[in-house]
Amino acid sequence: MKAILCHRYGPPDTLELGDIPEPVAGPGEVVAKVEAVGLNFFDTLIIAGKYQTKPPFPFSPGGEFSGVVESVGAGVTEFAPGDRVMGYTNYNAARERTAVPVDNIVKIAAGLDFDRAAALTIIYGTAYHALVHRAQLRPHETLAVLGASGGVGLATVELGHLMGARVIACASTDDKLAFARAHGADEVVNYEREDLRDAFKRLGGEHGIDVVFDPVGGPYSEPALRSLAWQGRHLVVGFAAGEIPKLPLNLVLLKGCAVLGVFWGQWVRRDTAAYKAAIEQLAKWCADGKLSCHIQHVYPLAETPQALKALADRKVMGKLLLRP
């Protein structure tokens, strides 16, 4: 079967389309025919050897997918051939068939297509874990989202809006901000043009910002932390800007605030039942049109390098998919 393969660490151009043997479902696994693969920023890191997970070579990128179960391994009772499924693989989804543990997948909600099902698990799952479990976001609180037009950013804008927050979307271009506004943002900040601290003073007033969702890092984290309200929460999600910022702890003391780590990958492993319940709820909201799961473009497997370059070059609004 066809797979896009990483034989050595490097930029997207080093990936090669190749043939590999068909997978066999091990105990507790299913083999699914892959209908669509959701790409994420971490796919650009995993192929470069810059991600915390380092799979053995050759591996395929692609951490999430939708598909149809073709066979089940020993002990699998909750899935059968023909079931439409979605979920995460961490890597190895960008191939025609993939073997995946049953803990990682759920059946696709009625009314949800394969494309959105492939793109939903990681971004909305992360937004949900961040806002519901970590920040415990309340209605009418002010939520500022950095990188608001990207995968996790847009998911958080939409989920924050759905939870009744006042959402401030922050991004680098006016097109991205218009896109975030169309997806539920109440206010927008172009952080390439306006100083983030000034913008948050303007929009947060005396009270400040209750919750910051930060998947970008770099130069934006410290001004965002400085803008928090008393007992605000700063959600540390990722470092798409490349630099891991160091934050002055006196700010945390003075504001009585919390800097909260968000690690979707650990949460889903440590609390599988909660992960499955959350994904089923998010998929239903998506099927009902409450969440968009916006797909910018679908690429064939052979064009995986172009797709990953677009992500690395900051050109994506919403999600990119591969179709094996």
Contact pattern from residue 198 through residue 217 relative to ligand NAP, giving x for each residue in contact according to CB under 6 A and a dash for the rest:
-----------------xx-
Cβ within 8 Å of residue 13, ≥6 positions away: 305
Q: Which span sits near ligand NAP by CB under 6 A: 37-45, 98-106, 225-233, 252-260? A: 37-45
Of 166 and 176, the one with the shorter C-beta distance to ligand NAP is 176
Q: How far is the CB of 214 from ligand NAP (least distance, A)?
A: 9
Per the CB < 8 A criterion, the answer to whether 253 and 278 are in contact is: no
Binder of ligand NAP out of 15, 23, 36, 40 (CB under 6 A): 40
Binder of ligand NAP out of 62, 67, 150, 232 (CB under 6 A): 150
Could you say whether residue 61 binds ligand NAP (CB under 6 A)?
no
Per the CB < 8 A criterion, the answer to whether 170 and 194 are in contact is: no
Could you say whether residue 152 binds ligand NAP (CB under 6 A)?
yes
Beta-sheet pairing, 295-300 with 166-171: unpaired
Binder of ligand NAP out of 36, 106, 157, 171 (CB under 6 A): 171
3 state SS of 189 = strand
- Round to whole Å and give the CA distance between 157 and 161: 6
Could you say whether residue 172 binds ligand NAP (CB under 6 A)?
yes
Q: How far is the CB of 154 from ligand NAP (least distance, A)?
A: 8
Site size for ligand NAP (CB under 6 A): 29
Binder of ligand NAP out of 133, 263, 297, 323 (CB under 6 A): 263
Cis peptide before 300 (omega within 30 of 0): no
- Round to whole Å and give the CA distance between 120 and 108: 11
Q: How far is the CB of 43 from ligand NAP (least distance, A)?
A: 8
Name the residue type at position 217: G
- Round to whole Å and give the CA distance between 149 and 181: 9
